[in-house]
Structure 1
Amino acid sequence: MTVFTIASVYRNASDPNALNGLLKTIATLTGNVLDFPYSPVRLVTVTMPQGASAAELEFVRMAAGTAYAFSLISLAIFFFLVRALDWPARNGAFNVWVNLPLFDPTVGGDVLPRLTRDGRLNIALGILMPFLFPAFFKAISDIANPLQLTNPQTLIWTVAIWAFFPAGLVMRGIAMTRIATMIDENRKRAYAVAQGLQPV
């Protein structure tokens, strides 16, 4: 959706139609709303080269605002699935090997603090990355030849990755902390049964 929307906004200049015009209007509004001081969208626009035109800056603002809005919407939907719809418990038993193939529960001691720590670390990195990527990009612009964000194809894919890679980290962190909570609840129930208590 991000790539399609931003590409349609750019295409509106050469091939205007009702859909492209509507998407451009929404993207313009989204970019303006999310472009406030110290926001990730503002940091992306700051990375533009000095000679960038007003039209190029506006397109970067629209693209960054749209991508970041989609990432926030996806995070909200995922959080709703986890909290309100009780993911993954409502689908029956949860298999750690299938759902977390890169996580080895047999290494590193107790799995509960590891899941909690890794989940919190992923959430923290996901929140910081939209701010760190533009700063890193700006820092190396004087040393190396940076990506040309004035190129539409480069801009579309760069902005999409910039928005959704951190969102994916936050989703992974939320999922890991949710699994840690489920393991903790199951342990408490098993302990209550072992002690001859009524499980809650």
Structure 2
Amino acid sequence: MFKRLPGAFARAVLVVIVLSMPAFLLPDISRAAQEISLIIGGIVAAFTLFEYASTHPGLVDFRFAPPYNRIRFFTFSLQVLLLVFLARATMELDPFSPDIIAFADWCASLLNFPLSPVNIAVAMVGDDGDADFRLLIERAAALSYAVAFSSMIFFALVLWLFKWPVGRDNFNLWVNLPTFEPASGHDVERRLNRDGMINILVGIGLPYVIPAFVSRASGWFDPSVLDNSQPLIWGCTIWSFLPASLVIRGAALLKVGYLVRRSRPTGG
């Protein structure tokens, strides 16, 4: 456990930094909001510390099969960072603000096509909404989904070109999938493939299900709340990260199912 402690501690510190980043980098954030962000970051960091300091399986999938969780954390962190600096760019707080705006507009030009998540985000605001607010939503959705799509493509390359997981001949299914109930025979492969496809399908559908749910709940959700920087950042990050995370998990399960099938003796 002590050998893993430095790495686990470093991960926990990074978690606190990422989760508290918006509260400390955005202007006009109250002291109470900063303290709440540190408390939430500390809780998540404590969970991360206990998970990665332990030598036994916990609740985190593929903990012993890098870079699965590193890609997911980097995706989440980059989404938060870009959206924070997008919010700062709208206030012209940084010398590189025009570059952030230009990059967001370029992403929007690529991703704002009919039935895309970015198009749906803009449609939620409606044509009657403030033009600047609609543009902000479009840019934020485009940035967050650009990172999400890039992470999925990168993980696909890692899966098949770099033969993930590393040391696959000694890959331990039960250690890396602690919440996966053990089974025997061909049932393992079948369930891995089934769960993998379910994760991918849910991940593909989630960007459309969440806005539909929000629009149905218009009685208690007002889209204008996203005009505030912090709700915008966390709303767009969660909305884009969850689908990408599910697709990545589904692809990983399908790859593990393929490894299980390949490891069987011929005719077995």
> Per the shorter chain, which TM-score range?
0.7 to 0.9
Partner in structure 2 of residue 158 of structure 1: 235
Deviations 1:30-68 (A, max 9, x none): 113211221111111122267531111101000000000
- Work out the CA distance in 2 between the residues paired with 1:71 and 1:55: 24
- Work out the CA distance in 1 between the residues paired with 2:221 and 2:157: 42
Matched residues, number: 190
Match of 2:252 among 170, 175, 181: 175
Deviations 1:119-141 (A, max 9, x none): 01101111111111111111211
Partner in structure 2 of residue 66 of structure 1: 143
- Alignment of structure 1 residues 31-46 onto 2, 5 Å: 31-46=108-123
Pair 1:14-2:91 in alignment: yes
Overall identity of the aligned pairs, in %: 32
- Work out the CA distance in 1 between the residues paired with 2:84 and 2:166: 38
Structure 2: 5+ residue runs without aligned partners? Answer: 1-77
- Work out the CA distance in 2 between the residues paired with 1:191 and 1:29: 51
Amino acid across the alignment from 1:145: F
Pair 1:145-2:186 in alignment: no
Q: Which moved more, 1:61-70 or 1:12-21?
A: 12-21
Deviations 1:92-129 (A, max 9, x none): 4111122111111238x821111110101101111111
Looking at CA atoms only, which structure, 1 or 2, has the larger radius of gyration? 1
Partner in structure 1 of residue 194 of structure 2: 117
TM-score by length of 1: 0.87
TM-score by length of 2: 0.66
Q: Which moved more, 1:96-105 or 1:169-178?
A: 96-105
Partner in structure 2 of residue 88 of structure 1: 165
Classify the secondary structure of the residue corresponding to 2:115.
Answer: coil
Partner in structure 1 of residue 3 of structure 2: none
Question: Do 1:9 and 1:21's aligned partners in 2 also have CA atoms closer than 8 Å?
Answer: no
Partner in structure 2 of residue 4 of structure 1: 81
Moved over 6 A (4+): none
Amino acid across the alignment from 2:138: R
Q: CA RMSD, aligned part only?
A: 2.1
- Work out the CA distance in 1 between the residues paired with 2:160 and 2:227: 40
Q: Which moved more, 1:17-26 or 1:163-172?
A: 17-26
Structure 1: 5+ residue runs without aligned partners? Answer: 195-200
Question: Do 1:121 and 1:173's aligned partners in 2 also have CA atoms closer than 8 Å?
Answer: yes
Deviation at 1:155, TM superposition (A): 0.8
Deviation at 1:20, TM superposition (A): 2.2
